[in-house]
Amino acid sequence: MATASLGSPAPARPRSALFDRRLDHYPQGTTRYWLLAVVVASTIILYYEQYVQGAVSPSVLAHFHVSFRWYLTLIVVSNAVGALASLATGLADRWGRANMVIAGLLVHAVLTAVAIPAAPGAVTYGVLVALSALIEGMVLVATPALVRDFSPQLRRGTAMGLWTLGPVVGSLIVSEVASNTLDHLKAWQDQFHIAGISGAVMFLIALLWLRELSPALRDQRMVSIRERAILEARARGIDVDAAVAQPWRRMLRTDILVPAFGVSVFLLIYYAAVGFFVVYFTSVFGYSQARANSLGNWFWAADAIAVVIAGTLSDRLAVRKPIMVVAGVVAVVMTMIFASRATAASTSYGTFVVIISILSFSRGFAYAPWMAAFTETVERHSPALVATGLAIWGWVLRAVVSVSFLILPLVVSSVTPISNYGPRLATIQATYPGQVQTLRVVDPATLARLRENPSDGAARARAVVEIRTALHVGTGPAIARLLSLRAMPAADRAYLQAHGAAVLSARSKAPRQWRTWWWVCAAGQIAFLPTVLMLRGRWRISTARRDIADQEALIDAELARLTAGGPEPPGRSDPVSGGAGTVTQ
């Protein structure tokens, strides 16, 4: 391999300012931080757009007159489409990442702001949502690949903690906007308009400023930021085509597949929160959509704080595995506590705030170091195929989510009648509370006789007796209550009688069924813990810091050699497999 001094200029080549976003020099200082900020902000806004339907799912179901099972099927299909997109995005190792993210932001913004809220029917809505999931699956892989490219391993935890803010803060924005606007912006489409406009603004920012490393730079492993000059010198000797050859054969490894599955089942509680927290709290505890979303604010805020702290802490301590294990155990315990409260109608809003905040904080505290450790594990096999390794992770994640959502309606069967009929029944209850109460205490056979013959004196007398007995009122008030039923439209009365009993029965079953699902989520978190063992990294801080000291000595020697223009040292000629060496954290 040809050697180069620190001052060797990069060879000039013609560039397209709009499409060729390659950097031949590793960015430093504020430039690197700005590039990371653009990637993180792009991820946040895209997930804000992607998750906005979860905040208004009851309204969407009512608007299109579709069942909860239909909604679940849509989520399953969307995740399956996203899984295929994640696999395809492995091509980012050959084609680059930046333009993929920029194009995805544009298409996703148009879908969210214009196409989805204008959907004329359920089928069109479903197709457009699935198409948006296709874009999300691409960006899911491309953005963490960019974060890895701009982050040496010794700062990877902090960087991945910031990237993890994408889905977390995206969810927080969804909850915050919905909880503060749903009460006066009645149309569910307004939530999509707001999110889509935000996406359009983010597209313009990324179009102007997002860049990526040239293939020769990103195909190397950087442990410390001090290796920047070494990477640039070695980039001239890398055969990029050879570095990305046979990607799937080189990346389909046990220590990539098993940890990817482990973290996917660990995140079951996260995806349940994204898709069903609003449904859960409205159907089981009777919260309004705005109040349910406000509870989500606590979940996502705790998560956002945790991922940043955990990522930074794992960099400072130079170990990641102990943090993952301890936080994972706390997440298991808190999920079990949350499950135990699923059957308690007396659980207060404040109690839920405490439980889900600790649960979310611990889950995020485990996830950010995991992302850093996973990318480092991928780099151990080939730093040139990071996007391919992340594509495998993205595919496994989406596949697990799809399967879990296929199983969910079998476990929580009560959701279907509550979601299908609950919204209209709630409207009827709010409009005619006295009449609904009366209908609930009068025998259905008596009501049927009165519908057939309103002049049936015996039926009227029986109804009055039933009202007096059940509501403990006198004859006059009982007669007034019976007569008040005439003010209630026949269609509403028929709807209440047709579906009221089914919804009441479902509401009684829902807490126990949801508790079962929360236990499934806890089991997934337990399954995650042993997979941590397969990831790259040390357990002891002292050993990890000794590795770092050895690495720093190798960097000093390599920089001295480059400054002097000396020959390549023996055993250091493979820039793709690590260059000046590697540190095992």
pLDDT at 90: 63
Please tell me the distance from the alpha carbon of residue 374 to that of residue 157, in angstroms, as a whole number.
Answer: 11
Please tell me the distance from the alpha carbon of residue 234 to that of residue 240, in angstroms, as a whole number.
Answer: 12
User: Residues 343-377: pLDDT tens digits?
Assistant: 777 888 889 999 999 999 999 999 999 999 998 89
pLDDT at 59: 81
User: Residues 30-41: pLDDT tens digits?
Assistant: 888 899 899 999
Q: In the predicted model, what is the mean pLDDT of the chain? A: 81
Q: What are the angstrom distances between the C-alpha of 154 and each of 148, 198, 313?
A: 11, 33, 11
pLDDT at 238: 57
Average pLDDT over residues 125-140: 87
- 283 token code pair: 């159907």
Q: How confident is the model at residue 1 (pLDDT cuts 50, 70, 90)?
A: very low
pLDDT at 195: 92
Average pLDDT over residues 140-164: 82
CATH code given to domain 25-237+248-423+507-542: 1.20.1250.20
In percent, the amount of the chain with pLDDT more than 90 equals: 24
Helix (H) or strand (E) run with residue 150 in it:
none
User: Residues 265-274: pLDDT tens digits?
Assistant: 999 998 888 7
User: Residues 327-348: pLDDT tens digits?
Assistant: 999 999 999 999 998 777 788 8
Query: Among 177-186, 305-314, 534-543, where is mean pLDDT lowest?
Result: 177-186
pLDDT at 245: 67
Q: Which residue has the higher pLDDT, 90 or 405?
A: 405
- Where along the chain do its domains lie? 25-237+248-423+507-542, 424-506
pLDDT at 54: 76
What backbone phi and psi angles, to 5 degrees, belong to 212? -145, 160
- 527 token code pair: 């399954």
- 292 token code pair: 């349910």
Q: Is 540 helix (H, G, I), strand (E, B) or coil?
A: coil
The answer to whether 54 and 274 have CB atoms below 8 angstroms apart is yes
Is 584 a residue whose pLDDT tops 50?
no
pLDDT at 568: 52
Q: How confident is the model at residue 2 (pLDDT cuts 50, 70, 90)?
A: very low
> Among residues 44, 61, 37, which one has the least CA distance to residue 289?
61
Residues 6+ apart with CB under 8 A from 47: 136, 166, 167, 169, 170, 171
Helices 289-317 and 268-284: crossing angle, nearest 10°?
A: 160
What backbone phi and psi angles, to 5 degrees, belong to 508? -70, -30
